[in-house]
Structure 1
């Protein structure tokens, strides 16, 4: 059962699509004229459309009158249809006078929230930010809450602003002034801000048990149960009705228990508070973290503290663990904002741009490094649900609705069953009225038909596949926090993978150094490859090794080195030692200036006296940034006579370092060497330096943009990122299943393409192209020129390790498949950004055939997932949690590789850190989907089969007995439905996906055909019994005599239909290719054997003939299902449709299918952009580079 908080939600179409503007207004030209009663708000990842309403007295009176007159039925109907509720009671109005807000999110989900007013409380007035970091008092604030966030009405701009965005325009200089002031907020300011922001607590409130019971009991399912039980009791079906009441009570109890358990689990996972030292106007006070408000200055604990808010670090540095938020367990260094920012002080603070200065709520403080005699301070930015942790918790509490056609089809079919029930309802009234039956009897019998045709247990039975798949996933250490996602996994047709840590090993193996010869005079050159970092033997590489030993973000925690795995590998290769305290003989200038205690690195003892300085102090660290693709440090020699002699060491991607270096220091073959290593799958790091003349004060405050220029290249570090042993097999398994695989990585484009070839994402016999851009050449529209290079494999080895003939066959088969292209593209993040911005008309085509995305920033990964979904792909994303959170959350099925049992970054978490979990999740999704189909057809077949038998018995004014109903519904139907989902998923991933439409032609023909076979058989048995010489017609009891439902026709039909129900279970319990055979489902097999052998009725003459008839019915049903439905419709018809789709692009139903039909067979659409004259006409600016890159 999924744990979902609801706020009177209802699905309906949006009036307009949300866009990316932060706040915008729409004018409705309807009843309100030019009143602004429709607003759009963008907060975080949510796009909301807001409609304003006020209550109307006349409508309210009518509402109460109808609710009372209908004994609450009218109010119950409005509870099920909340959009009717607001229309019945209110009318549209302007937002500044609204009493209710109708909120519609980007998934078309509605909620109706009351507008409340905050006035002065206990002497504290509400406050609102002025935009410069300070607050102003107001008389009152109008607000509403939606999904735990408070939205406040700002009169001066006529907008609703979320509490998370109230302080979104704070100038950076404000934080500097806060630090310099040395004081905190006054008690009055704290109280005023608490009125506006509330307590700092991510509180998952536990609903009272009675409330949970009431919410469950008034659901349509249980209301229908009450209706059914009432009919049965009135008709004296006491036994079965009592069983249903007991089962319903147990079901409600289980649901309430599961909901309460989920609430408690989530509460224990996210709710916490601790004591914190906060700086207030009257000094430092120790308070509970729940009392923190935005603007508070607090002292960051030195070790082991858990952050309870989002805060900006003001001084010192902090080593934190953000695994709770991202799944990444590698410690991260956070640096102070003031005195260290690279931006103009007039610039506003940005959560995205300044993330390296933010201590996020939920992160663990491993260690802080502080000023002499001072502690590290931070300023509270956001509290409670406005924090990053709060946003992730809200995404769990209010998950994205699964827009799955299966669910829609289910409700359509229930409506169809209800239509059949109405036919039976009318038939019963007509036939019983003709016989002169009593009004009470007519009403009871006709209503009873509805309970037979529309099975009350259908919604519950449909969930058995999901429940069992989830249990099997847990046994394989794959944990799911959103079980409703499992069915969606059965429709996945594209899988995106991060590279490092997902497709390849976490660690890197050092391969070689390529230093720039420091003795060059005119043209710099690379030295020979060096496979070890021994400075004693490598005099030419000495400064490069020094740079490696100092340029990192490592720290010691409890005596052990912690940090980025890449930094650890390289530092350990050098053999240097790291300590985190300065020498006793510190420079006097350092003592006068309150500098952070620097990290000190020392070379091995054997190098002393060999020209190496004894130790280096890392004075300043510019942390790694994905967008900047580099990090750097400023180091000095504490023993040097000149404290102003410092060196900047910078390392990063080869492209970025090249752009920062003085061209005179770069070897002419630099690009060729980088490409050569990258094409063989190696990861490259470039290192450069710059001599600086400055003191400690300037070094601690200077912007990185001023020092990371005019660098001198020192060399290249070559590392190997080995592909995980299981990667190749898993990718091949997905390829054989025609599930598209895509690599999304932050690594070099050529490296990514090489690894993609090695693991099978890029096929050996497909053409591969690199899509790049040139900023130095633009077209007539000023757009950068796009270039295309063909990449040629440097290895004849087939991707799947099979022989060449087998590979040719598989590739040729894939080429003939209309859902696959015959070529593949690779794109880097910068080029992806250029195409997104300047060539949006090409984006859909590129996304449909591009399988390698390199140098992708985290937000670009999310954009890619959204684009794939936009062309109708069902997308899975698998990553290790680092920089993948946004993409994991955006995908239909996000799978995080983490040691944690449950990560709030993705619906699925695998504790086995490789991609073998992906086909497992897909197989279980397909098994759950097929199980849902099977249960649906079984329950539908059961209800319609029973309907036909009851219609025959009504013809003679009788019915099945109470015990016959009990045996069928409890032992035959309920037990079979419960065990239906126990059949395990298949071990193989089929090349054809299961159908996702419940009301597909095959399903409809299957259900209708089986109904016809069952009904004809029942009619034959009904007539056959009347022909027998021993037949005694049923006699209707006279007068008030108690009804005796026993009849020969009823007994014959009962004997026949029990075997028909077993036949339906066997036929619909489909095995391969998505599930194992039914024999692997031991509970179901035992149930079917027992109910088949069990003799529920006494012996009567010619019963074996009825069994023989039932067996013939089973054989006919089996032949119909597998010869007509499976072979003619699902196999031959699908083949015909596939050929029709190839011939007729309009026959394709999915957008990506139409795209692949147009561009998949050959890149002719690319050639249209390669003609120079087209660029002149403004139609394109592609250029073909006559060059092949060997990968």
Structure 2
């Protein structure tokens, strides 16, 4: 909790941080509030529904959480407010009531206070005086407890206790009743205003348009309800899963129960030939091969091993989700096969159920997505508020004019309310969504699927794209290149499932290239699922005559230690039947750094690091292999700890793999670079390999020098307790760069690329603040003024973690200038995305799903490369198996954003234009006729707005991003300028018409609701305004540089042509029956009608010139360049956080230093790695110091 106020608490659960205030219902306040609701005929209740915070204040009082047994009022990370009732349960004679007390035990209680938020139940712990998530007490479970439960299972009454607290094990997306969905849609502010508007129109006998709006609203509500229901149904179909499972209960009794009845602590039996996991469970015995593609998108089978017995101190014997993930079977994953002793069951203890599971957490993130922190929506509401103020002025003006003319109160009220419906267009919110809907349809046609359309507009503001490397930038598989060996080596064997070798692609490739044969049929008639812990469950045999083996060699796989990303290695214990029974051999493979740290120093070549770097900087993926002999019995091999096996190894050599770039990668990265959208690589691979791929793909420019900052040990560093740093230049760096070309030309505002890049490797970043002065003097020679993402740093995951923990003040600067992150874990990827968002980047994340789920979910726009139409890990799913989908999403996002801006300005211009027209006509006691209103509202506005979003995105992504602020200077001046033009021309026509010789003033009785509204001045203004509406549509339908031309939008273009023809006909050649059917009072002289059309065309020309030269050129071009110059010289308040950081880092690199007592006096010489000569000739690979033919690899 951490707050002295007992009425306030802070709850942290995974990604959620809840700030809770305790409240209690006040009977006096509640009675007063309901009286207010009664006298306002329910209007006050509607307002309180829109503003729940006000409802809380009017009906409750703050109190301590311990007595707040009715209501809670809290907010989450995104400042969302909610109001939830606390349930109070009391024990009855025949019911169980208990709470988790830790270590999978339950404690009986007499009463229970709880509440549910986003599918998570929070319980009140009286002795702690705080609410905790239902599973928080079981966060640290002793390993021995799992094995204890595995023997007997839960008793029946223990199951009932858990069911009362944890609920059913069911991820159930409830379908809201249709009536509830309809009611919630109807009482939204948008539709309430529409009901108000339609009521005014019906009272004003504007029945036709009102009926059309009612019909459109009904269709819109029906579509919204249908879409909501469909999304709920699709999500439910995607995640709903139940099955019959076998559980061990009542001291060993095996029962078949529905998966909904599972509770934490239950012991389940995993079927031998596969199933879908219905909960998160800890494996107790045997091995299980699972497919986790449902959660990660990675279809490679993963082997889960049994949880080890508790050994060592108490802390090491506690269960940890992170450290013991290789023992967890996650909900939603497919069990492909289990292996254990013949006739015995594979058991697992249920750890989490329902929405507490990993799958449940992903589903919750879809059901309750984080709000899009996008200024566009806020600006929209601000502008609607501005229109409301304008409407209030118009309301007062109308009342004053009507009263001065002696109009009846009814007519005065109707006309005043009509002004409000004109100024604030009811169709505005619906019109604003046409761009997103059209973009979603276009993306779907190109095999990019979106389950969250609200994120499409956000994609238009993306300025950083994070990429996973393997499977995203590079091909999924690896190609075997060569070996750099000292002794013979051996690979791990992939598992055989249903007679087919399946496993990690790396293992499959390595095993295939050995030419050996895998045989799992040692014991005839033994089923695959029973091949666990037999004497030799798996045998690998060499092929005589290949690789120098004159006779067949046979090795039995005794035990495997599966790959762990945190350990960066895997190993296997093998036995040769020809050797003594206790003669075992351990083979271990993993990252070069990790294997080297496990090897005996004398077995590692002195030039080992140089060899690794030579290959890595050319983009090869390196796997180091080591071994050692052990004297162990078979029994001891099954019990020995992994740490005792993977130590004191002897280096065998390196396996070099090629991970080729996808053919489309370079073009996409180049496109992003040209558009000044920053590409960032986040990978779990080696830093040098990542840098090579980054340079080859274009993330790092080929004309720049790349540097790695490495740790060095010296007396100076040791004296101050810090490790020193040094710089090394990579061989792939360009040595022919003009140092004088770097910098920022402020006067011309040309941002030139810097010529140097920095890389940080090893653990050096944890000493990042201690960069020595001699290094700083060297760095100052090449760190240049930087503004638009041209200073590169490279960092690895362990280093990044140290900075996060020890130097958080550096994080914002680091994430702003670093573009390559290597050795990053999944949680570090997510953390990085969050930090980029904190410095006000709009972030997209693209990955293939493997280890990227958290980052995909955290980004503004997560794009998952998957063959499925929808992935629960990301709002966008692309069937396109490469990063071209990123360009599609950005292009369509920009098109949708620009469309929303255009529709907004058009709707604003339309409402204000009609507002100006009506104010003038009210002055003479007239108004537009019903037909004139209908033609404007339905044909000139609704039809155009409907087709507005059909303009496709431009193929090329512009270097200038679209405006993200709706109330920017350009937008506001555009609307004001166009409105000014409209006012001037309409006012001129209104006055000039009155001086014509054939003119007669409007004289209809003003107190008659059915009066004839036709007037000559009304016809003249209507004739000009028709062309003004069309002009606004064309002006705000600009294509380049974000959309194609208006001619490509055939529905819109044809509509505009037809409407222009009709408007010309109505202006120049009004029909003879216009006075009766068309309700137009025709102007008698054709010359004046032609003059009115000419005025309309001149007005259009002025609008085009104003928008083209004043807005597009002066405001968006000249002013923007001036603004950038000013930002480059002086820090501006309207700069984003990352722009300020870039400016400060570029001008003063001393942010790297904090301790000046730890400074070397001498600058260490930069080291250049010598290039390896790699030649392919007639089946041979030439490497320094060795020649290995492909046949002998």
Taking structure 2 as the reference length, the TM-score comes to 0.89
Deviation of 1:641 (Å): 6.6
Over residues 414-445 of structure 1, what are the superposed CA-to-partner deviations in whole Å (9 max), with x where a residue is unaligned? Answer: 11111111110110011111111111111111
Contact kept, 8 Å, 1:679 with 1:1190, in 2: the verdict is: no
Structure 2 equivalent of residue 192 of structure 1: 161
Residues 150 and 760 (structure 1 numbering): CA distance in 2 closer, same or farther, change over 3 Å? same
Question: Which residue of 830, 835, 848 corresponds with 2:816?
Answer: 848
CA distance in 2, matches of 1:468, 1:797: 49
The structure-2 alpha-carbon separation of the partners of 1:597 and 1:387, relative to structure 1 and needing over 3 Å to count, comes to farther
Unaligned runs of 5+ in 2: 738-747, 755-783, 1072-1081, 1172-1193
Deviation at 1:644, TM superposition (A): 2.6
Instruction: Please give the alpha-carbon distance, in whole angstroms, between the structure 2 residues aligned to 1:1182 and 1:757.
Output: 31
Indicate whether 1:1052 and 2:1032 are aligned: no
Distance 1:357 1:71 in 2: 61
Query: Is 1:604–2:543 an aligned residue pair?
Result: yes
Question: Is the alpha carbon distance of 1:951 and 1:1189 closer, same or farther for their aligned partners in structure 2, counting shifts above 3 Å?
Answer: farther
Matches within 5 A, 1:1161-1172: 1164-1165=1149-1150, 1169=1153
CA distance in 1, matches of 2:700, 2:531: 59
After TM superposition, give the deviation of residue 144 of structure 1 in Å: 0.3
**Residue number in structure 2 paired with 1:572:** 512
Residues 369, 1180 of structure 1: CA spacing in aligned structure 2 closer, same or farther, 3 A cutoff? farther
Preserved contact between residue 593 and residue 697 of structure 1 (Cα < 8 Å): no
Give 2:502's aligned residue: 562
Of stretches 381-390 and 1091-1100 in structure 1, the one that deviates more from structure 2 is 1091-1100
1:733 equivalent in alignment to 2:671: yes
Moved more, 157-166 or 225-234: 157-166
**1:977 corresponds to which of 938, 941, 945:** 945
Given that 1:651 and 1:686 are in contact with CA atoms closer than 8 Å, whether structure 2 keeps it comes out as yes
Seen in structure 2, the aligned counterparts of structure 1 residues 991 and 343 have a Cα distance that, compared at 3 Å, is: farther
Q: Please state how far the C-alpha of 1:630 moved relative to its aligned partner.
A: 0.7
8 Å Cα contact 1:633/1:649 also seen in 2: yes
**Correspondence 1:907-946 to 2 at 5 A:** 907-946=875-914
Number of corresponding residues: 1109
Quote how far apart the aligned CAs of 1:972 are.
1.2
Q: Is the 8 A contact 2:536 2:556 kept in 1?
A: no
Question: CA separation in 1, counterparts of 2:391 and 2:183?
Answer: 29
Per-residue Cα deviation, 1:914-946 (whole angstroms, up to 9, x for no partner): 111112111111111110110000000000000
| 1:258 matched residue in structure 2 | 227
Whether contact under 8 Å (1:772, 1:827) holds in the other structure is no
| Higher mean C-alpha displacement, 886-895 vs 938-947 | 886-895
Once the two structures are superposed, what CA deviation does each residue of 1:105-126 show, in whole Å capped at 9, x if it has no partner? 1111111111002344683312
Q: Residue 876 of structure 1 aligns with which residue?
A: 844
1:989-1023 deviation digits (Å, cap 9, x = unpaired): 10111111111111001000100101111111112
The 2-side partners of 1:1080 and 1:341 are apart by 71
Decide whether aligned partners of structure 1 residues 1035 and 208 sit closer, same or farther in structure 2, where only a CA change above 3 A counts: same
Contact kept? 1:646, 1:691, Cα under 8 Å? yes
SS in 2 for 1:42: strand
Contact (CA 8 Å) 2:7, 2:62: kept in 1 or not?
yes
**How far apart, in 2, do the equivalents of 1:894 and 1:692 lie?**
48
1:691 aligns with 2:629: yes
Residue 309 of structure 1 deviates from its aligned partner by 0.5
After superposition, give the CA deviation of every residue in 1:1101-1133 in whole Å (9 maximum; x if it has no partner).
Answer: 332221111000000010011011111111111
Equivalent runs, 1:379-394 vs 2, <5 Å? 379-394=349-364
Offset, 1:755: 1.3
Could you say which residue in structure 1 is the equivalent of 2:570?
631
Q: Quick one: which of 709, 722, 727 aligns to 1:771?
A: 709
Conserved 8 A contact 1:783-1:838:
no
Q: Is the 8 A contact 2:411 2:1007 kept in 1?
A: no
Query: Which is further off, 905-914 or 987-996?
Result: 905-914
1:1032 Cα offset (Å): 2.4
Report how far residue 1185 of structure 1 moved: 5.8
Paired with 2:856 and 2:1058, the residues of 1 have a C-alpha distance of 46
Check 1:585–1:1011 CA distance in 2 against 1; reply closer, same or farther (3 A cut). closer
The verdict on how the C-alpha distance between 1:342 and 1:703 changes in structure 2, with shifts beyond 3 A counting, is farther
- The residue number in structure 1 matching 2:1061 is 1093
CA distance in structure 1 between the partners assigned to 2:1010 and 2:537 by the alignment: 96
Aligned 8 A contact 1:487 1:926 in 2: yes
Structure-to-structure mapping, 1:710-725, within 5 angstroms:
710-725=648-663
Q: Distance in 1 between matches of 2:513 and 2:1128?
A: 57
Per the alignment, in what secondary structure is the counterpart of residue 813 of structure 2? helix
> Structure 2: how far apart are the matches of 1:248 and 1:956?
34
Which secondary structure does the structure 2 equivalent of 1:52 belong to? strand
* 2:95 counterpart of 1:157: no
3-state SS of 2:1000 partner? coil
Residue 50 in structure 1 maps to residue 23 in structure 2: no
Match in the other structure for 2:954: 986
Q: CA deviation at 1:343?
A: 8.8
Give the equivalent residue in structure 2 for 1:13.
Answer: none
Contact 1:173–1:346, Cα closer than 8 Å, also in 2:
no
Find the residue that maps to 2:74 and give its secondary structure: strand
Contact kept? 1:768, 1:823, Cα under 8 Å: no
Q: Does 1:1156 align with 2:1142?
A: yes
Q: Deviations over 1:492-543 (max 9, x none)?
A: 11111111111111111111111125xxxxxxxxxxxxxxxxxxxxxxx3xx
* CA drift at 1:862: 1.5
Which runs of 5 or more residues in structure 1 are unaligned?
1-23, 29-35, 518-540, 799-808
Describe how 1:302-451 pairs up with structure 2 within 5 A: 302-339=272-309, 347-451=317-421
For residues 561-612 of structure 1, the C-alpha deviation after alignment (integer angstroms, 9 at most, x for no partner) is: 11111111111111222233444699xxx99996598333222365799576
Measure how far apart 1:391 and its partner are. Answer: 0.4
Give the 3 Å change call, closer, same or farther, for CA 137–797 of structure 1 in structure 2.
Answer: farther
CA displacement 1:734-785 (0-9 Å, x = unmatched): 1111111111111111111111111111112233222334588856664444
Would the alpha carbon gap of residues 787 and 92 (structure 1) be closer, same or farther in structure 2, given more than 3 Å must change? farther
Shift of 1:875: 1.3
1:1026-1066 deviations in Å (ceiling 9; x for gaps): 12222222122276573111111112222211111110000
Quick one: which of 679, 682, 691 aligns to 2:617? 679
1:1141 touches 1:1147 (CA, 8 Å); kept in 2?
A: no
Tell me the secondary structure at the aligned position of residue 501 of structure 1.
helix
Report the alpha carbon displacement of residue 812 of structure 1 after superposing the two structures with TM: 6.9
1:662-683 Cα deviation digits (max 9, x unpaired)? 1111111111111111111111
CA pair 1184-332 structure 1, distance change in 2 beyond 3 A: farther
**Pairing 1:1114–2:1083 present:** no
Cα offset, 1:298, TM superposition: 0.8
Could you list the per-position Cα deviations for residues 187-236 of structure 1 after superposition, in whole angstroms to 9, with x for gaps in the alignment? 21111110010000001111111111000000000000111111111111
Contact 1:771 1:827 in 2 (8 A): no
Task: Tell me the CA shift for residue 826 of structure 1.
Answer: 1.4
Q: CA deviation at 1:127?
A: 2.3
1:136-170 Cα deviation digits (max 9, x unpaired): 22223211000011111111212211124242121
Q: Distance in 2 between matches of 1:495 and 1:568?
A: 32
Report the Cα distance in structure 2 between the residues aligned to 1:810 and 1:788, rounded to whole angstroms.
Answer: 32
Q: Quick one: distance in 2 between partners of 1:126 and 1:692?
A: 55
State the match for 2:936 in structure 1.
Answer: 968
Deviations along 1:1148-1189, whole A, 9 cap, x unmatched? 61121122222237x8437x74xxxx7453699998663235
1:151 and 1:161 in contact (8 A); partners too: yes
CA-atom RMSD in angstroms = 2.6
Any conservation in 2 of the 1:789–1:1184 contact (CA below 8 Å)?
no
Q: 1:50·1:102 contact (CA, 8 Å) conserved in 2?
A: yes
Partners of 1:985 and 1:654 lie apart in 2 by 46
Relative distance call for 1:585 and 1:923 in structure 2 (3 A) is closer
Tell me the TM-score normalized by structure 1: 0.90
Contact 2:705 2:733 in 1 (8 A): no
Check 1:617–1:468 CA distance in 2 against 1; reply closer, same or farther (3 A cut): same
Contact 2:411 2:1009 in 1 (8 A): no
Describe the SS at the equivalent of 2:138.
coil
Q: What is the Cα deviation at residue 486 of structure 1?
A: 1.0
Please tell me whether residue 131 in structure 1 is matched to residue 102 in structure 2: yes
